């Protein structure tokens, strides 16, 4: 399980749990009060681990999971062991947690901290969590603290009828373009109950120290010098085996002929990437520049334009076809009122390929809800226009 930038509202959650040692019903807040995150994230003997999720995102996912006393829970991604400790409290008395991680080092660390703290009710396993743990029998709940390529059939097959699953799923074949999906399972068939913006590091087939600087999936070209820069393109099938198109696009973005400031983007970044994913446009592309900042936009083999998370726009040139397309996307997004990710229609599309059978999460344009306080259609500039020097020597668009 890896660190993420996921955040969530910390509203009071309904009564859903019991403490690990049995006793009176308690709410999710009490479980968090009983297990301090620092005891797992920064341990006196075992040191600090970067393989952890924020307490805010864990709270959100566990609230959606709705663990009940006596539940059998499969956790994919042990990380620091913190979330497993919370799950042990939530499913007691009578429940059981199986926590799986690809890293034997993380498993040893989590097992030792649990033993030190007297936490029971958790079985730690080293293995590929994407395969589930069918030998342990059916489970009532599955939660994954990583982003698999898609919803795994192995998970839905292990969940009991009426069971519940919370997982981070890609909505485009690009790094970090994901939503957190809450899913119920009936007769092995999954059904989406809700989605929300958020993300976790990609799942990996082997243990790695860093799954985020250069993701293992959906990266088409990487320039390692002096700091890692990479690009992922949805038109990879049209590129040649040498990835010449992806390489050209990345180098144009590293040395842009045009820069400008758009406006505040960080708060609405998840809206932007969900909206663009719903376009299903083959030219959609994602980039990380010098391991400093990420962007999302439009590329071809001869042009490239991105808007970065800080609101800067970079492009190969001022008359770039990709810049024209990016501006058109931004205008439509603004007209839609920067809709919240939760409002997009979502579908689980079956995938029967040999690599990982399951379902792809697909978002589509539809009746969407604007972010509060952001009226649709306000103030998108039609072109670069005049402006004064700003961030990176860019022009501020009027």
Residues tagged active-site? 53
Enumerate helices (H) and strands (E) in the chain, giving the number of each.
9, 22
In the block, residue with structure tokens 């391991």: 291
Distance CA 224, CA 228 (A): 4
Please, which residues have CB within 8 angstroms of residue 272's CB and are 6 or more apart in sequence? 265, 296, 307, 333, 338
Q: Is the peptide bond before 184 cis (omega within 30 degrees of 0)?
A: no
In the block, residue with structure tokens 């499913």: 91
Distance CA 138, CA 117 (A): 28
Q: What 3-state DSSP class applies to 376?
A: coil
Q: What 3-state DSSP class applies to 82?
A: helix
Q: Is the peptide bond before 110 cis (omega within 30 degrees of 0)?
A: no
Strand partners, 396: 261
For residue 21, the tally of other CB atoms under 10 A from its CB is 14
Q: What 3-state DSSP class applies to 328?
A: helix
Q: Could you tell me the two tokens for 182? A: 């809450």
Instruction: Give me the sheet containing 293-299, strands edge to edge.
Output: 221-223, 229-233, 284-289, 293-299, 304-308, 312-315, 258-261, 395-396
Distance CA 264, CA 230 (A): 24
DSSP 233-301: ETTGGGS-TT-HHHHHHHHHHHS-SEEEE----GGGHHHHHHHHHHHT-TTEEEEEETTTEEEEEEE-S
Task: Please give the helix or strand (H or E) that residue 99 lies within, else none.
Answer: strand 96-101
Calculate the alpha carbon distances from 265 to 60, 130, 296, 312 in Å.
Answer: 23, 33, 11, 9
């Amino acid at each position: 399980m890896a660190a993420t930038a996921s955040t969530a509202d910390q509203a009071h959650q309904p009564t859903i749990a019991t403490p690990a040692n049995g006793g009176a019903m308690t709410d999710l807040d009490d479980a968090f009060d009983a297990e301090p995150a620092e005891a797992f994230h920064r341990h006196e003997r075992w040191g600090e681990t970067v393989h952890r999720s924020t307490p805010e995102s864990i709270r959100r996912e566990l609230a959606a999971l709705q663990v009940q006393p006596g539940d059998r829970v499969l956790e994919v991604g042990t990380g620091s062991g913190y979330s497993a400790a919370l799950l042990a409290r939530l499913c007691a008395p009578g429940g059981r947690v199986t926590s799986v991680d690809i890293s034997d080092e993380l498993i040893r660390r989590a097992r030792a901290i649990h033993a030190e703290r007297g936490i029971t009710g958790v079985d730690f396993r080293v293995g590929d969590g994407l395969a589930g743990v069918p030998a342990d029998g059916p489970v009532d709940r599955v939660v994954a603290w990583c982003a698999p390529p898609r919803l795994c059939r192995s998970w839905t097959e292990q969940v009991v009828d009426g069971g519940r699953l919370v997982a981070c799923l890609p909505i485009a074949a690009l790094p970090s373009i994901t939503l957190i999906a809450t899913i119920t399972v009936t007769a092995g068939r999954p059904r989406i109950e809700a989605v929300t913006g958020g993300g976790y590091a990609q799942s990996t087939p082997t243990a790695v120290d860093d799954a985020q600087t250069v993701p293992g999936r959906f990266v088409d070209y990487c320039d390692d010098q002096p700091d890692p820069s990479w690009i992922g393109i949805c038109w990879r099938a049209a590129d040649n085996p040498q990835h010449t198109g992806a390489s050209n696009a990345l180098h144009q973005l590293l040395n842009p002929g045009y820069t400008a400031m758009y406006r505040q983007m960080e708060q609405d970044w998840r809206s932007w990437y969900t909206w663009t994913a719903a376009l299903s446009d083959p030219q959609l592309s994602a980039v990380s520049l010098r391991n400093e900042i990420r962007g999302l936009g439009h590329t071809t083999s001869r042009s490239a334009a991105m808007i970065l998370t800080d609101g800067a726009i970079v492009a190969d040139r001022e008359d770039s076809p990709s810049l024209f397309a990016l501006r058109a996307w931004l205008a439509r997004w603004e007209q839609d009122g920067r809709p919240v990710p939760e409002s997009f229609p979502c579908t689980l599309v079956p995938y029967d390929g040999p690599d990982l059978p399951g379902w792809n999460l697909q978002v589509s344009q539809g009746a969407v809800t604007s972010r509060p306080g952001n009226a649709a259609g306000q103030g998108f500039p039609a072109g670069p226009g005049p402006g004064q020097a700003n961030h990176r020597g860019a022009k501020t668009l009027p």
